[in-house]
Structure 1
Amino acid sequence: MWHWLRSNRSFLLLLIGFGLFRTAVADWNPIPSGSMRPSLLEGDVVLVNRLAYDLKLPLTDVVLAHLGEPRRGDVVTFSSPQDGTRLIKRLVALPGDVVEMRDEVLWINGEQARYEQAEALTEPVQPGVQRPATRLTESIQGHQRRVQWLQGVSARSSFGPVTVPEGQYLMLGDNRDNSADSRYIGFVPRALLIAQARGVLVSADILGHWMPRFERFGQRL
């Protein structure tokens, strides 16, 4: 055993270094669900920057240093405050923001979001099941993103107003009627933020025979 370890120590050190790099610097995350449609699709593999906000002790949530501030509109990976599951959502509201949703319409600090460029389409909600959807461009607080609403789906389309506590953030999925986000799991403390998603590395249509989606390769968020 010791002879094998000595013979392969360079390879083992490379593996350890690679593992530390993935847990502390940069990583990639597969997208398993449609909660961020249309920005991210099932089968996308997303590059994330673990140093965007904090330097953490590898494999823990222990913050060693703050490196940057989360910004409204960031797409963020984080640990769910409910059960620790790793999630990816859009950071919609910062500490101190007053947030409200009225029949799907988002309000932040008294400003109502604008919804433009409506597009009707059919969206998958699970294998073999599709529902009519409306996709729009949501503009608020100087940020824009494409979001969508699904017909015939029971979702929490109204809440608040609520004030985001100090040191915490409100997350929403872009697929508003198919996302387990802050409406259900609560605000997300900064210590549970993992990384900022930067773009799509590769993509395969897992709902359509795993065919590569070359047009999504390298797409920035």
Structure 2
Amino acid sequence: MRTVIRFLARNKGFITFMLCMIVFRSAVADWNVVPTGSMQPTIQIGDRIFVDKAAYDVRLPFTHVSLMHLADPKRGDIVVLDSQAANERLVKRVIGLPGDEVAMRDNVLYINGHASSYAPAAYSGIHDDLQDPARYAIEQLGDVRHAVRLSANWPSPASNYGPVMVPADHYLLLGDNRDNSKDSRYLGFFARNEIVGRSRYVAVSLDPDHYYLPRKHRFGTALD
């Protein structure tokens, strides 16, 4: 027991620092590894994204208990959530807000009866294109615009979906890689309290196709 006390006394500065870092990462900011391609081309496999955990709530550390409500997710936000339905942490984009009617027809997104517009776009270095060539487009509805990936060979059965009404305190989330994403079309609506933060930047990126070498051009990349 005395040995433990002496160890704690000698290292109290380091221990305090580590505890503060753990609390900070739990409640304020963290980074998240993205191992799948469901958000390509916006987020690439191997990206480490910065997560602002205080974007929407001040939470009790290590819990989902909100101590102070700051804001609600907006359409177009990229959010990180602890999904009970998927039993894992997910990164998706907010598409449907509470009260919205959402539908898809041949991968064309409709919100409250209004169809999104699509402008052709070009992207390179996307992992899934090695086996599944795709077309890319900038999807826009109102002021919200972002890139989506649409498979050329294997369109998803969920490219036709809805219409559904988003219930109160829930959100409809989709991946930008529309034909290769486990999202609300399969898992249902996501509760507000499952959303733990918002991501707007890539912190670090490592390329799994090239021995995890750094993709320096993606460091600090803004996520639109």
TM-score of the aligned structures, taking structure 1 as reference length: 0.94
- Partner residue of 2:150? 149
Amino acid in the other structure paired with 2:217? E
Q: Which runs of 4+ in 1 moved over 6 A?
A: none
List gaps (5 residues or longer) in structure 1: none
How far apart are 1:122 and its partner, in Å? 8.6
- Partner residue of 2:116? 113
What is the 5 A alignment of 1:53-68? 53-68=56-71
Distance 1:60 1:83 in 2: 18
Candidates 95, 98, 101, aligned match of 1:95: 98
Distance 1:120 1:218 in 2: 18
What is the 5 A alignment of 1:7-46? 7-46=10-49
Query: Conserved in 2, the CA contact under 8 Å of 1:121 and 1:133?
Result: no
Superimposed CA distance per residue, residues 123-158 of structure 1 (whole angstroms, 9 cap, x where no aligned partner): 5349xx611101111011321101011133252111
Query: Conserved in 1, the CA contact under 8 Å of 2:148 and 2:178?
Result: yes
How far apart are 1:111 and its partner, in Å? 0.6
- Partner residue of 1:162? 164
Distance 1:158 1:141 in 2: 22
List gaps (5 residues or longer) in structure 2: none
- Partner residue of 1:179? 181
Query: Conserved in 2, the CA contact under 8 Å of 1:93 and 1:164?
Result: yes
How far apart are 1:120 and its partner, in Å? 8.3
Distance 2:121 2:27 in 1: 40
Query: Conserved in 1, the CA contact under 8 Å of 2:80 and 2:196?
Result: yes
Q: CA RMSD in A?
A: 1.7
Aligned to 1:207, what secondary structure does the other structure show?
A: helix
Candidates 180, 190, 211, aligned match of 1:188: 190
Distance 1:125 1:116 in 2: 21
How far apart are 1:54 and its partner, in Å? 1.0
Amino acid in the other structure paired with 1:134? R
The number of aligned residues is 219
Distance 1:123 1:9 in 2: 46
